[in-house]
Structure 1
Amino acid sequence: MSGTVLVAAHVDTGEDGTAESLRARVVALEGAGAHLVTFAGGRGGAGLTAVEAASFAAAWTDRIGLVPVVNPVHTEPFHLSNQLSSLDRVSRGRAAWWVEVVDDEAHARARSTSPVGDALRQEVREVVQVVRLLWDSWEDGAVVADQASGRFLDADRIHYVDFVGQRFSIKGPALLPRPPQGRVPVLASAGWLDEDPAEVTVLPAAPTASSGAEVDDRPTVVDVVVRAGGDEGTGRAPDTADLARVVGSVVDRVRGLVGRVTAVRLVPAGPQGARVVVDDVLPALRAAGLVARAPEPGRTLRDLLDLPRPAGALTAVRSGAPSTEDEDGTP
């Protein structure tokens, strides 16, 4: 771990569902030097979905990572794979997927889903597994686009997935070529994806030696809540003393996490939380020397997280031998 952290910030599209508000918030976060922004759809379907919000934000940004928060049990895996692949393409390799799971019977009943406990864990693993396989169903180089020969695709480089899970099956292949990052990075809490783990581990709010934060080399991220008051009706900011207390508390919290985690996610709370993150917290963290250098245009999210670009899992199907694809190659 280095002496600085990456900084993510969370945006709830339901707080203000207007396109201009979303554009302004994300542009402000990128301008303030945030490395990633996570998106949650509004409660009860208000506002854009998380993937829609991230895709919209891609048009207004060129550096910040775009990470929709999506529950894998509530989304059709085939469509989710294509949506995230599209997001990676329109953002030029800046997409990731934050896997959100709620293990609660009342939550499952309210959404007409049944798995909880071990069955839920199995379904989450299956969804992530098949989404990754769909990304790999097109090998790099499958799109030939050779006008002279009249050849657009190399059919030998496109594969059927033929996946059968406990509650769904998918034939494949994906609708789109392989994403620019090969596979969109997956962020998930420890324990949900043991056999094919997440590229980034989401840690408890207070990571300890037993939480697995330093067990392996995978990047880690932890939430830090920015609870700022103020007057929601008038838009008035919190008073000076309250603001100083909020900012100082966040700086102290992040300072205690440096060297233990790769990234922190600032989660606004209260009527002025989002504004305070941009105008006060991010500048204070940077002034304290706790924040890594701002992302640069042209870099993928895997570059930012120091994650190699993976070879396609299905490439060996064609050759009958282990894949020799260059992990640093481009689609």
Structure 2
Amino acid sequence: MHLALEVDGDFSTLKDRVAAAEAAGFAFVTIADSPLPPAGGGVRLEAGVRASYLSRLTGRIGLAPTLHATVTEPFHLATQLASLDHATLGRAGWVVGAESSAAAYATVGEPPLTGDDLRQELADVIDVARLLWDSWEDDAVIRDVATGRFLEPDRVHHVNFTGERFSVVGPLITPRPPQGQVVVIGADTLGVTSRLDVVLIDAPSPDRLVARARQARDAGAPLVFASVPFLTDVDEYAGVVDGVHLRGAGLNRDLTRLTDEFGPRLPVGPTLRDTLGLPRPANVFTG
């Protein structure tokens, strides 16, 4: 059973917490974030920036920043995540954030979305991100010194996506990510389960977890993780879910528990998809 860990915005201990999780053999860390300033004032480094910082300080663990699809321009979101996958040599994930408060939308000057409109926006952003990651074929970069050609233009594609509130022509400005597509992670409550690679379930009881895990699998989720407080006994979830995502304040106080109680685990694979047993997606533009 895979283990994942949520880390918060405390930059001073970020490197140590992620290093402890990597040493314990965790599959990935998620990096929490909000589009709003910290409640106590000050400055918070955006989760994607924190993940980039960690990319060269880690060698095995997956890095999955929370980027909010509701208030982040889709093209820039897809580019940032593709760049992270290149920087980590294939260890990038994306936690689909869905902050939808009026205050969050005010940061981009847009009215809040709710209900079906919000779900459609999340679906559109995920769909166009996947298309943009595919917009470069794997062999598009040829580096032909003799002819002076860096890429084969016929292998780079416009995506021509039109959603409910935005359109993207493409292609992406970076080559296809090493994983083909970044691992997409999100809560089952977002209403876009069929578009996720890893579904996180925060259930109030074991019975509800079993029921919601079944619903997620029926909806097409490849992997289901229980998202639970740090002090939870993860063994009770064996056979119910594919992994456990640990979160909560205890993470910041007791790093030794990561290795003493949860690790060391089996070595992880070279990419996050390899670690999780997820196949590398075929490119939609190559048939």
Shorter-normalised TM range: 0.7 to 0.9
Residue 285 (structure 1) aligned to one of 248, 259, 262 = 262
Structure 2 Cα separation of the partners of residues 79 and 109 of structure 1: 19
Relative distance call for 1:224 and 1:147 in structure 2 (3 A) is same
TM-score normalised to structure 2 length: 0.87
1:149 shift after superposition = 2.3
2:281 equivalent to 1:304: no
Structure 2 Cα separation of the partners of residues 67 and 27 of structure 1: 15
Q: Secondary structure at the match of 1:259?
A: coil
Q: Secondary structure at the match of 1:94?
A: coil
1:255 shift after superposition = 1.6
Q: Is 1:137–1:161's contact at 8 Å kept on the other side of the alignment? A: yes
Q: Say what the alpha-carbon RMSD is for the aligned residues.
A: 2.2
Structure 1 segments, 4+ long, off by >6 Å, are: none
2:6 equivalent to 1:10: yes
Measured against aligned partners, the alpha-carbon deviations of 1:188-226 in whole angstroms (never above 9, x if no partner) come to: 2236225x5211112233412244255356111121212
Structure 1 Cα separation of the partners of residues 103 and 147 of structure 2: 58
Q: Is 2:202–2:228's contact at 8 Å kept on the other side of the alignment? A: no
1:314 shift after superposition = 1.8
Q: Is 1:185–1:199's contact at 8 Å kept on the other side of the alignment? A: yes
Give unmatched runs, 5+ long, in structure 2: none
1:103 shift after superposition = 5.2
Residue 248 (structure 2) aligned to one of 268, 276, 292 = 268
Q: Is 2:91–2:272's contact at 8 Å kept on the other side of the alignment? A: yes
Work out the number of aligned pairs and report it.
Answer: 274
Residue 30 (structure 2) aligned to one of 25, 30, 38 = 38
Structure 2 Cα separation of the partners of residues 75 and 111 of structure 1: 8
Residue 189 (structure 1) aligned to one of 187, 190, 198 = 187
Q: Is 1:108–1:116's contact at 8 Å kept on the other side of the alignment? A: no
Structure 1 Cα separation of the partners of residues 103 and 150 of structure 2: 49
TM-score normalised to structure 1 length: 0.76
What's the counterpart of residue 233 of structure 1?
none
Relative distance call for 1:217 and 1:76 in structure 2 (3 A) is closer
1:171 shift after superposition = 1.0
Q: Secondary structure at the match of 2:116?
A: helix
Q: Is 1:144–1:154's contact at 8 Å kept on the other side of the alignment? A: yes
What's the counterpart of residue 85 of structure 2?
88
Residue 59 (structure 2) aligned to one of 59, 62, 78 = 62
The amino acid of 2:84's aligned partner reads: L
1:165 shift after superposition = 1.3
Q: Secondary structure at the match of 1:74?
A: coil
Deviates more, 1:41-50 or 1:84-93: 41-50
2:93 equivalent to 1:120: no
1:274 shift after superposition = 2.0
Structure 1 Cα separation of the partners of residues 253 and 267 of structure 2: 19
Structure 1 Cα separation of the partners of residues 251 and 279 of structure 2: 35
Structure 2 Cα separation of the partners of residues 75 and 292 of structure 1: 36
The amino acid of 2:282's aligned partner reads: A
1:77 shift after superposition = 0.4
CA radius of gyration, larger in = 1
The correspondence of residues 76-155 of structure 1 with structure 2, limited to 5 A, is 76-102=73-99, 108=105, 112-113=109-110, 114-155=112-153
Q: Is 1:213–1:261's contact at 8 Å kept on the other side of the alignment? A: no
What's the counterpart of residue 208 of structure 1?
210
Q: Is 1:105–1:116's contact at 8 Å kept on the other side of the alignment? A: no
1:82 shift after superposition = 0.5
What's the counterpart of residue 327 of structure 1?
none
Q: Secondary structure at the match of 1:123?
A: helix
Q: Is 1:6–1:292's contact at 8 Å kept on the other side of the alignment? A: no
Structure 1 Cα separation of the partners of residues 217 and 150 of structure 2: 46
